[in-house]
Amino acid sequence: MHNGLVAIPADIRSFDGYTWHAAPDQYIRAAIDGAGVLPLVVPALEDGADVDMVLDRVDGVLISGSRTNVHPSHYGEEETESHGPFDPARDRVSMELIRRAIERGIPLLAICRGIQELNVALGGSLATEIQELPGRIDHRKPETPDRDEAFAIRHSIKIKEGSCLASILGSGEAQVNSLHRQAISRIAPRLATEAVAEDGTVEAVSVIDAPGFAIGVQWHPEYWVGSDHVSDRIFAAFGEAVRTRHKQPAQAAE
Ligand SMILES: N[C@@H](CCC(=O)NCCCC(=O)O)C(=O)O
């Protein structure tokens, strides 16, 4: 049986002539196989959702990656061609879930677009097309039809000593995959940098003084759950935090 229920905010996608509220299966599988929890996909509603009603009923929040980007108006910048594509409904529900989960101490794991939403939700900003910035490596998804190649482990990060992530993975070097064009620019006041890539790109953060597990990573640990130690440890730690909450639920929000 599953040891807790975890909300995953959906993306808006269109195919087969319909509009769908969708979450990629690799996050569903990683939640089940890596964290031992049951995921629950939350619809993406541009007018907003009652996120406290959701959070009263779950034990954790998992924010997935996506090819779309947070709209720059959320961090005070004008939209340009390089900022798209967008998913305003995902922006709205995901960032409201993030803020309230942190306030209520509900375990939060934010991946790729998720760490970017976490940073923006708490007052930070993003840089776009970072591969064009001086000194940056190319963090984009490799152009290949092969999913394993696209998600291949391909650059190192340095995990800060004494960080939350170091308590999960140990400090020092780790190897991760990379499929992103944007990254944290101005880090939110309540976030601590936990790991950086060799070019200085922020690769992991934690929420300062968070009452619960609250970590964001720029890479994709969900993809290699079951065959990669870093991926397995991250999802196991998230699952442990969710299990603990499931056993000792806090009072519902007033
Ligand atoms: N769109 C943002 C976030 C990147 C992200 O979440 N990538 C996952 C998509 C994987 C795929 O393309 O299949 C950015 O580009 O920085």
The residues facing 94 across adjacent strands are none
As a whole number, the mean pLDDT across the chain is 97
Q: Which atom of ligand 1 is nearest to the CA of 141?
A: 12
Q: CB of 112 within 8 A of CB of 177?
A: no
Ligand 1: centre distance to CA 116 (Å): 10
Is ligand 1 within 6 A of the CB of residue 24? Answer: no
Which residues are the active-site residues? 112, 220, 222
Tens-place pLDDT, residues 151-204: 999 999 999 999 999 999 999 999 999 999 999 999 999 999 999 999 999 999
Kindly report the protein residue whose alpha carbon is nearest to atom 3 of ligand 1. 113
Tens-place pLDDT, residues 117-136: 999 999 999 999 999 999 99
pLDDT for the residue numbered 134: 97
For the domain spanning 5-246, the CATH number is: 3.40.50.880
Name which of 172, 160, 207, 169 is nearest 187 in CA terms: 207
User: Model's pTM, two decimal places?
Assistant: 0.97
ipTM over 0.95: yes
- For the chain, the domains span 5-246
List of the chain residues with pLDDT < 50: 254
The residues facing 86 across adjacent strands are 69
Is ligand 1 within 6 A of the CB of residue 141? Answer: yes
Is ligand 1 within 6 A of the CB of residue 71? Answer: no
Calpha distance 79→76 (Å, rounded) = 10
The count of other CB atoms within 10 Å of the CB of residue 212 is: 18
The residues facing 41 across adjacent strands are 8
By most ligand atoms within 8 Å of CB, the mutation choice from 69, 82, 112, 220 for ligand 1 is 112
pLDDT for the residue numbered 249: 65
